[in-house]
Structure formats: C-alpha cells, structure tokens
Structure 1
Amino acid sequence: MSDPSQVSDLDKNRALVDWLEWQLRQAKNRVRELEVAEEQERRRRERARAEMSWKIQPQRGGMQAMLHRGGCATYSEQFGFINREEALIALAEPDIEACPICTPETGLKQS
C-alpha cells in the first residue's frame, strides 16, 4: 500500500496545470481590461481633438455651407477638421453660415 501523505507526480502536475490555467485566465482578463482602457483613452483623445477643431458642412441640396465645431453632432463627419485660423477664414466667407446649434464663432473671434 502506498503512503497517503505522498502526492504522486501526476497529481502534482495536475495541480500545476490548474494553477497555470488560473494564472493564464488572470493575465487574459488583465489584457482585456487594458485594451478597454486603451480604447477609451483613444476615444477621449479623439473627442478632445475634435472639440479643439472645426469642420465645414458643404453646401448641398439648396442648403448653405455651414461651419461647425469639431464635436457638433448636427454634422457628424469626423474627418477633414480645420484649425482656428482656417475656421476664422471660413466664418468670414459670405456663403458659409455658423451653425446655430454649436455656435462655432463663440471664442473664435477672441484673441
């Protein structure tokens, strides 16, 4: 009869595999958490960049071209941002209106 206080090599290795699988699950969970945090940070940076930019809605269907703040949801295109100087030039154009919702001229003419 074998000694019950002795653990077989097989049992030791099974315990090791269980522990390593637990450790792998922990590491995978941490990677998922970090990926979510990284994506949230990327979105935050994009929003901040948009808020410091402007965009022009082209003239279409009889509607006049319109200047928006970069984060304005009224015109949701998220590419083609323009800087402050370009927004000032656009606002001075007679065929471009300022969006009445996001009021892109607010703070634009100050400096």
Structure 2
Amino acid sequence: MSGGISDLDKNRVLAEWLEWQLRQVRGRIRELEISEEQERRRRERAYAAMRWKIQPQRSSSVALLHRGDCSLYETAMGFLDREEALIALAEPDIEPCQICNPQTGLASG
C-alpha cells in the first residue's frame, strides 16, 4: 500500500456521503409530505367554509342548519350549496345554528 488513500477507504467515504445524502432527501420528503397534508386540510377547510350542513333532528330538538365549518356539528360529507341551504332554511322544521349564524352567509349572495 502506498501513501495515498486506498480504494476501500475511498468507497467507505463515498458510502458515508451517499448515506448522508439519502438522509437529507428522506428528511425533505417528510417535510414535503407534511406540507402537502397541511395544504389538503386547508383546502378542505376552505371548501367547508363556503358550504352549509344540516344537523339531523333529534327527539328533543329541531334540525339545525350550520355553516360548513361550524365546529358544533362535525361532518366531512353531505355539504349543501347556497341554493340548497336557502331551501333548507325555508323549511319549518329546520332552524339556523345560533352560534355560526348560517343565514349571514346566505344573505350575501
């Protein structure tokens, strides 16, 4: 063996460098996955905020119309558009939620 770096040592250093690169790429992938999930949630919240939903009638209360993003009644489906919400609100057995005031968003259309 001469005074230079052996092929074995060169390849060990290369392997360490490649492993470091792989850790960096995997870290970036995790960051992008988190960012993508946050963006998906933001889009879902924005969609819900522009919709309405009906909480079914219970034996002790009437059915309630909520804004899509009202936290008093959580649901990920069954959203109504503006026209459907107006029809629902005109029904005698459906009342607006007193917390999110869904009729406010309906009046501006």
TM-score normalised by length of structure 2:
0.96
Q: For residues 92 and 33 of structure 1, what CA distance do their matches in structure 2 show?
A: 47
**Greater per-residue helix proportion:** 2
Letter in 2 for 1:92: A
Q: For residues 93 and 45 of structure 1, what CA distance do their matches in structure 2 show?
A: 30
Of residues 41, 47, 70, the one that matches 2:39 is 41
Q: For residues 62 and 47 of structure 1, what CA distance do their matches in structure 2 show?
A: 30
Letter in 2 for 1:37: S
Matches of residues 17-96 of structure 1 in structure 2 within 5 Å?
17-96=15-94
Identity %: 65
Unaligned runs of 5+ in 1: none
* CA displacement at 1:107 relative to structure 2: 2.8
Deviations 1:39-82 (A, max 9, x none): 00000000000000000000012210000000001111221001
Moved more, 17-26 or 74-83: 74-83
* CA displacement at 1:110 relative to structure 2: 2.9
Q: For residues 27 and 108 of structure 2, what CA distance do their matches in structure 1 show?
A: 48
Letter in 2 for 1:110: S
Q: For residues 17 and 100 of structure 2, what CA distance do their matches in structure 1 show?
A: 56
SS at match of 2:107: coil
Q: For residues 64 and 78 of structure 1, what CA distance do their matches in structure 2 show?
A: 21
Count of aligned positions:
109
Q: For residues 67 and 36 of structure 2, what CA distance do their matches in structure 1 show?
A: 25
CA-based RMSD of the aligned residues comes to 0.9
Q: For residues 110 and 34 of structure 1, what CA distance do their matches in structure 2 show?
A: 38
